[in-house]
Amino acid sequence: MELEIEHLTKSYGAKTALNGISLRIGEGIHGLLGPNGAGKTTLMRLLATLLEPSSGTAAIGGVPLRDKAQIRRMVGYLPQEFAVYPGMSVLEAMDYLALLSGMRNRAERRRRIDALLEQVNLTEQRRTKVKALSGGMKRRLGVAQAMVHEPQLLIVDEPTAGLDPEERIRFRQLLNRFSEGRIVLLSTHVVEDVESTCEQMTVLHRGELRYHGRTGELTAAAAGRIWTAEMERGQWERERERFPVLSAVPEGAGMRIRILADEQPYAGAQPAVPTIEDAYLYLMRKEAGVR
């Protein structure tokens, strides 16, 4: 199973939301990162056949996007704003959405729904009206409905928004299991989700492809540019604008800071091992021409 994208472009009048993207994505979990307006949602909606491309092509397992009926049987999609019929119970909503996904066998639907509700920890809420669910529960319901017909490509947009740390861990484990033999495209602002689950990742910026490859290779690009230092609060207030600060944590009477710099920024500053978040911020500043 492979997702192939060739020169995919989407324009709205004079504005180009996605500009000639070409990439190939194989089985497993693939991270999709980029600031607001980068083109991530446009790309996901194109792959889910909710938008028509202005030019270019894409195919999932050899099936082109223009074959909408077949593609929709192959794709599961959780948008950032997931809404479902509030007057239905969780079980009713899942059954209805499974029918819309083409699952005609009632016994098979029930088996699949029961298993998914267990996996997303919603079994006890199966009779609860959707409108009575918390934000995190609704997000988990969205994840379950996207998976119900066992799609070959699962697209999830900000799936851990509103989930507590324990739920995020549970969700990442669920994605790992589901991705065997399938493609999962994970778009998120929670860089920890990418670092914890994605071997490969893509970064978009202003509608263009800025990085596509192994997660570890992006991290390696920031090596030698991440520093940690301790300083008194007074010094911190005076010098905080000199270098890009990635984090600043109070520590006793002073501050421990994490800095992006090509060379040692302060006497006593120590080199640090970069994280994915460090590498992503380095890439974004590089793209913006900021040093």
Assigned domain for 288 exists: no
What are the Cα distances from residue 101, in Å, to 24, 34, 46, 95, 158? 26, 30, 18, 10, 22
Note the pTM of the prediction, 2 decimals: 0.87
What is the spatial distance between Cα 252 and Cα 255, in angstroms, rounded to a whole number?
8
In this structure, the answer to whether residues 210 and 240 fall within a common structural domain is no
Assigned domain for 153 exists: yes
* Burial group, residue 67, by CB count within 10 angstroms (0-12, 13-18, 19+): middle
Q: Check which CATH number belongs to the domain holding 93 and give it.
A: 3.40.50.300
Assigned domain for 285 exists: no
Give strand pairing partners of 169: none
In this structure, the answer to whether residues 46 and 168 fall within a common structural domain is yes
Asked if 260 and 271 touch (Cβ cutoff 8 Å), the reply is no
In this structure, the answer to whether residues 145 and 244 fall within a common structural domain is no
In this structure, the answer to whether residues 95 and 35 fall within a common structural domain is yes
What is the spatial distance between Cα 130 and Cα 125, in angstroms, rounded to a whole number?
9
Cβ-proximal residues to 37 (8 Å cutoff; 6+ apart), any chain: 206
Assigned domain for 166 exists: yes
In this structure, the answer to whether residues 7 and 73 fall within a common structural domain is yes
Domain count, the chain: 2
Assigned domain for 251 exists: yes
Assigned domain for 135 exists: yes
Q: What is the pLDDT along the chain (291 residues), one digit of tens a residue?
A: 899 999 999 999 999 999 999 999 999 999 999 888 899 999 999 999 999 999 999 999 999 999 999 999 999 999 888 778 889 999 999 999 998 888 889 999 999 999 999 988 899 999 999 999 988 888 889 889 999 999 999 999 988 777 788 888 888 888 888 899 999 999 987 787 888 889 899 999 999 999 999 999 999 999 999 999 998 888 888 877 888 888 889 988 889 999 999 999 888 899 999 999 899 988 888 766 554
Domain extent for 236: 224-272
